[in-house]
Structure 1
Amino acid sequence: MFDTKLALSIREACETLSISRTTVYGLIASSQLEARKIGRRTVVTMQSINRLLDAETPEQDHAR
């Protein structure tokens, strides 16, 4: 039905972004990643992961 996932588990988000669980939860707490509860499970939306990866960092601005 879907070719790509709409959301990832916390573990999958860690693996995808190559960061720790603590960092993922920190990004959720600072609203840089969007999480949803589905029952007892927490998932991170792919849209918010893509937004985080597409966001320009200050280092990228200075390189231009």
Structure 2
Amino acid sequence: MNGVHQLSNEFDLIGEAYGTHRGGTEFQLGLRYNWGPAVFDLGYGWVRSDSDDDWYTVGFAWAF
């Protein structure tokens, strides 16, 4: 399950939740900055069952 919510013309709130019946549910939440043909993402993720298994993500995409 994932989703995007537009905060302004330049910023979106992005979120995602996923998991299996064998493992814990994982979540990611972050901001997306839209700058012309470029998109920058900054996110934070965690596993619901393990507080020591957190991570950060950085993303970049260029549409041409």
TM-score between the two structures when normalised by the length of structure 1: 0.29
More strand by share: 2
Q: Decide which structure has greater helix share.
A: 1
Higher RCO, 1 vs 2 (CA within 8 Å, ≥6 residues apart):
1
